[in-house]
A and B are shown apart, each in its own frame.
Chain A
Amino acid sequence: MGSLNTNTATGAMRMADALLESLGGTSVALRYPVTAQAGQDAEQLGLAAPAFEDVALAPAAFRRLHAQIETDGTAVYELLVSASAVNAQMALLGLSSVADLFASGLGIVVRGTLLAVLGVTSSEAFGQAYLYRIRLKGPQGELL
């Protein structure tokens, strides 16, 4: 008889996916520079811009963080992303850590606007992340 124990990290991840889908299931994208061209001086000299690609992260939930408004006309937002989506993109891009994934990205595209990543924290169950909480900075009033 198979185990009926549902106290697993996979279960927590499925629960997070369902929760995010129920909150609207937004799809956002991590803007990521494609691999640089080896031996090309132009890119190292800033004469040729690298190409970028957007990799989708879904399901996700996007919201403004408190009523926090910066003096420079920007606002801080929070993005909740399923760990299953992040893990899938990490595997696809051949990266070994979540820190590398977000550090090497240019930012996150939400509804056509590129937002800068301020920080990433995770919620864990049984030693494994099931949800990532990403703090973003961007223009106020246009996204919500």
Chain B
Amino acid sequence: MENAKNSFYIALRNRLVQVNPARTVLLRGVTRPGVLVEENELASAKVPNDVFRLRWSTCAVNAQMPAAVEQMCCEILYSTAGTTNNGGMDRGQALIAMDSELRQMLQPTSTPKMCFTATGSTAMATNVFWTAPVFGAVSEAEGVLTRTVTVEVYSVQEVGEV
């Protein structure tokens, strides 16, 4: 599952650079594309606005198929308070812009599966693919709009994968 999760994140990150290169985040002194995996960042870190945050929740393996198929649920969360100088009056527009960017990042709905290690990556034999996004209702707290989008990510378990 690790390779599928990593491949999905890297695909979204690289696609965001094409969709909106201006959406970035400063994390530990380095400016990166504005998408991150929560479980890979410092637990004590402050949650940034205007950034896509990937959170992995449920997972399952269907072993009834000729090759085992992994299914993982990815929740993509994003929050915005709009522009400070506008008093946040454009926060609805900012959220719609992020909705649109995410839809574009999720197309096409597959990416080659890669095996990532601390020193590099190698291509694997199959693809990672996912369902159409389900956009959840917007919640608001202290002028910050937050939406959670759910995507089911699938991957065929290759030989040697755990």
Contacts and interface: CB of A to CB of B under 8 A. Distances in A.
Interface of A: 33-38, 41-48, 50, 103-107, 116-117
Interface stretch (B42-50, B67-75, B76-84, B96-104): B42-50
Given A41-B116, A103-B46, A36 B121 contact: no
B32 A116 contact: no
Interface SS of chain A: loop
B19 to A, nearest CB: 18
B36 interface: yes
Interface residues of B, number: 22
Contacts, number: 51
Chain B interface mostly:
mixed
A25 to B, nearest CB: 27
26 contacts: A35-B29, A36-B30, A37-B30, A38-B30, A41-B116, A42-B118, A42-B119, A43-B40, A44-B9, A44-B32, A44-B37, A45-B9, A45-B40, A45-B116, A46-B37, A46-B39, A46-B40, A47-B116, A47-B118, A48-B118, A50-B28, A103-B46, A105-B44, A106-B42, A106-B44, A107-B44
